[in-house]
C-alpha cells in the first residue's frame, strides 16, 4: 500500500501517518494539491491519497483525472466540521477520517482500498501445485504468463510472485489493458512528453517507469492492439521505452508478469496476438484452475471473506452453518473466487441470528443457492470431472495427445504391448515403433510388470 499524504504534517495528521505506517503503508508527503498532482505525474505512484479537507479536494481530483491518474482520495481533518466533511465527500473523497485518528479506522480504510489484504489461500492440492511452481520461479527474472478464467485470482497470484521475488521491496504496478481505451493505453504504459498530443500539458511518467526496479503486471494482455504489442515487445527485449512524443529512449529495469483469460495460442492463430510476444511473455506459464476444480479452497476462502466483510462493516463474524457450508461446496461458482467473495459479502449483510445460514447466501440475481442434494452433487461432480478432462486436452498437439493415450493405455495393461495394441486398435509393430520413438526422446515407457508378458 502506497499512501500519499497531502497537507501540512501537524500533530494529529502526523499521528495518522504513523498509524498507517504501522499497518504497513509506504508513506510519502507533499503539502499542496499542485505538488500532489506533480508527484503522481512524475511517477511517484500512490494507491491512496490522504488529504487535509481544508484543501481544494475537487480541484485535486479534477487535475488528476485530466492526467488520467486514478487514485482514491480520503479526506481528513481536525475538529471535524460536518459541512466541510460533507463537502469533501461531494467533491469526490471516498471517506472522511476525523482527527485525532482512530487506529482501527485507519486500518479499515487502508484495507478497503488495498489489494494487499487479499492473502494467498491455497488449501486444495490443485492450487498448491500452482503456488509451489510460482514460488519456485519467483526469485528468477523470467517473464510469467498467468492464465485462467475470469475471477480465478490471477492478479493475486501475480502479487504473490512479486512478494516472493528479489524485487519485493520495489513497486508492484498493475495495468488493466482491457479497461483503458486503446488510444490512451500507449501513454499509460510508456508516458508522454509535454505537447505530445492535445491535452498533454506536462511530461507524464508511464507505468513502465513507475515500476522501475520492481514488477509490472499487464493484466488481460490479450486485449492489447497489434500496433502496441510491437512496441511492448521492443520494450521487453531492449529494456528501454520511448515516451509518446519523446526523442530519447529511457532505460527501465522491470520484471514483466502478464495475465489472460483467453487462449493466446488460439489468438496467435487468429492473427490478433503476436507469436513472438507470446514467446517472450510465456517463459513460464501458471495456469490457475477454476474454483470448481479446487473445492478444497472454497470453505477456507468463504471463512476469510466472512471475517473480512464483517470487520469492514463493523459486525461480528458469524460462523457458517453446516447446511450453508454444504451448499457452498455443491455450487459450481461460474464466477470463481470473485463470485464467492461477493456472495460472502452479501451473506454477512443479510445474515440474522448466531450463524450465517443458507438463506443468507444469495446468487447475483438474488436467488438462494440450490440445495446440497446428494444426487445433484454427484451430477455436478461428474460434469466437473468431464469438463476437466476435456479441458486438459486443449492446447496440446495431436502428437502429444497420442503419446499420452499410448503411455496411459500401456500402464493400464501393466506394460503388456499386445494387450495395449489391441485396446488402441493399432498393430503391435506400430506400437513398438512409437515406444522406441518415445524412449529415444527421453520419455519413460512402462516396462512389463511381474506376471505380465512383454509380447
pLDDT digits (tens, 9 = 90+) for 198-242: 666 677 888 999 999 999 999 999 989 888 999 999 999 999 998
Whether residue 269 lies inside any domain: the answer is yes
What CATH code is carried by the domain that includes residue 103? 3.40.50.2300
The cell numbers describing 195, all together, are 505537447
24 phi, psi to nearest 5 deg: 100, 5
Across all residues in the chain, what is the average pLDDT?
A: 85
Instruction: Tell whether 325 and 359 lie within a shared domain.
Output: yes
- Cβ–Cβ < 8 Å for 53, 85: yes
Number of helical (H) and strand (E) elements in the chain, helices listed first: 19, 12
Domain boundary pick from 83, 113, 143: 113
Count of structural domains, the chain: 4
How far is CA 50 from each of CA 53, 134, 236, 379, rounded to the nearest angstrom?
9, 34, 35, 52
The residues, any chain, with a CB within 8 Å of residue 434's CB and separated by 6 or more, are: 402, 403, 406
- Per-residue b/e over 115-151, b at no fewer than 16 CB within 10 Å? ebebeebbebebbeebbeebeebbeeeebbbbbbbeb
Instruction: Tell whether 228 and 297 lie within a shared domain.
Output: no
Long-range contacts, stretch 325-328, CB < 8 angstroms, 24+ apart: 325/299, 326/372, 327/358, 327/361, 327/369, 327/370, 327/371, 327/372, 328/298, 328/299, 328/302, 328/361, 328/369
Instruction: Tell whether 367 and 404 lie within a shared domain.
Output: no
Domain boundary pick from 254, 287, 320: 287
Domain assignment of residue 56, given as a range: 2-113
Instruction: Tell whether 296 and 282 lie within a shared domain.
Output: no
pLDDT category at 451 given cuts 50, 70, 90 is very low
| Cis upstream peptide for 125 (omega within 30°) | no
Whether residue 434 lies inside any domain: the answer is yes
Whether residue 24 lies inside any domain: the answer is yes
Instruction: Tell whether 267 and 297 lie within a shared domain.
Output: no
pLDDT digits (tens, 9 = 90+) for 35-75: 998 888 877 778 889 998 888 999 999 888 877 787 889 98
CA atoms within 13 A of residue 45's CA, in its CB half-sphere: 21
Instruction: Tell whether 337 and 267 lie within a shared domain.
Output: no
pLDDT for residue 378 is more than 70: no
Instruction: Tell whether 248 and 169 lie within a shared domain.
Output: yes
| Predicted TM-score of the model (pTM) | 0.69
Amino acid at each position: 500500500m502506497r499512501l500519499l499524504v497531502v497537507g501540512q504534517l501537524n500533530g494529529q495528521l502526523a499521528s495518522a501517518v504513523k498509524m498507517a505506517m504501522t499497518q504497513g503503508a509506504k508513506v510519502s508527503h507533499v503539502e499542496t494539491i499542485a505538488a500532489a498532482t506533480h508527484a503522481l505525474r512524475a511517477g511517484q505512484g500512490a494507491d491512496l491519497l490522504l488529504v487535509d479537507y481544508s484543501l481544494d479536494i475537487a480541484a485535486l481530483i479534477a487535475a488528476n483525472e485530466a492526467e488520467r491518474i486514478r487514485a482514491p482520495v480520503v479526506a481528513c481533518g481536525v475538529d471535524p466540521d460536518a459541512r466541510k466533511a460533507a463537502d469533501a465527500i461531494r467533491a469526490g473523497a471516498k471517506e472522511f477520517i476525523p482527527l485525532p485518528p482512530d487506529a482501527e479506522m485507519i486500518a479499515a480504510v487502508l484495507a478497503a482500498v488495498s489489494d494487499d489484504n487479499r492473502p494467498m489461500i491455497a488449501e486444495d492440492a490443485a492450487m498448491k501445485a500452482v503456488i509451489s511452481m510460482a514460488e519456485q520461479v519467483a526469485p528468477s527474472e523470467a517473464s510469467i504468463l498467468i492464465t485462467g478464467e475470469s475471477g480465478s485470482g490471477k492478479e493475486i497470484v501475480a502479487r504473490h510472485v512479486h512478494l516472493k521475488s528479489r524485487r519485493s521491496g520495489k513497486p508492484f504496478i498493475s495495468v488493466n489493458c482491457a479497461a483503458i481505451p486503446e488510444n490512451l493505453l500507449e501513454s499509460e504504459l510508456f508516458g508522454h512528453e509535454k505537447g505530445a498530443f492535445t491535452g498533454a500539458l506536462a511530461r507524464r511518467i508511464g507505468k513502465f517507469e513507475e515500476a522501475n526496479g520492481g514488477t509490472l503486471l499487464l493484466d488481460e494482455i490479450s486485449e492489447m492492439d497489434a500496433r502496441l504489442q510491437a512496441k511492448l515487445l521492443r520494450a521487453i527485449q531492449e529494456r528501454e521505452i520511448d515516451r509518446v512524443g519523446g526523442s530519447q529512449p529511457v532505460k527501465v529495469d522491470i520484471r514483466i508478469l502478464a495475465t489472460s483469460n483467453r487462449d493466446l495460442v488460439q489468438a496467435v492463430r487468429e492473427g490478433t496476438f503476436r507469436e513472438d510476444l507470446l514467446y517472450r511473455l510465456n517463459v513460464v506459464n501458471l495456469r490457475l484452475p477454476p474454483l470448481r476444480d479446487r473445492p478444497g479452497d472454497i470453505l477456507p476462502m468463504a471463512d476469510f471473506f466472512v471475517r473480512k466483510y464483517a470487520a469492514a462493516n463493523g459486525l461480528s463474524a458469524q460462523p457458517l452453518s453446516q447446511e450453508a457450508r454444504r451448499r457452498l461446496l455443491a455450487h459450481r461458482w461460474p464466477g470463481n473466487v470473485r463470485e464467492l467473495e461477493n456472495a460472502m459479502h452479501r451473506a454477512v449483510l443479510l445474515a440474522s441470528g448466531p450463524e450465517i445460514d443458507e438463506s443468507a447466501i444469495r446468487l447475483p440475481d438474488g436467488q438462494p443457492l440450490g440445495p446440497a442434494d446428494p444426487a445433484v452433487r454427484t451430477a455436478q461432480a461428474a460434469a466437473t470431472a468431464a469438463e476437466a478432462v476435456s479441458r486438459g486436452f486443449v492446447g496440446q498437439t495431436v502428437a502429444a495427445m497420442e503419446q499420452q493415450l499410448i503411455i496411459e493405455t500401456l500402464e493400464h495393461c501393466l506394460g503388456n504391448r499386445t494387450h495395449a495394441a489391441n485396446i488402441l486398435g493399432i498393430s503391435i509393430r506400430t506400437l513398438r515403433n512409437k515406444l522406441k520413438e518415445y524412449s529415444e526422446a527421453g520419455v519413460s515407457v512402462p516396462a512389463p510388470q511381474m506376471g505380465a508378458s512383454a509380447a
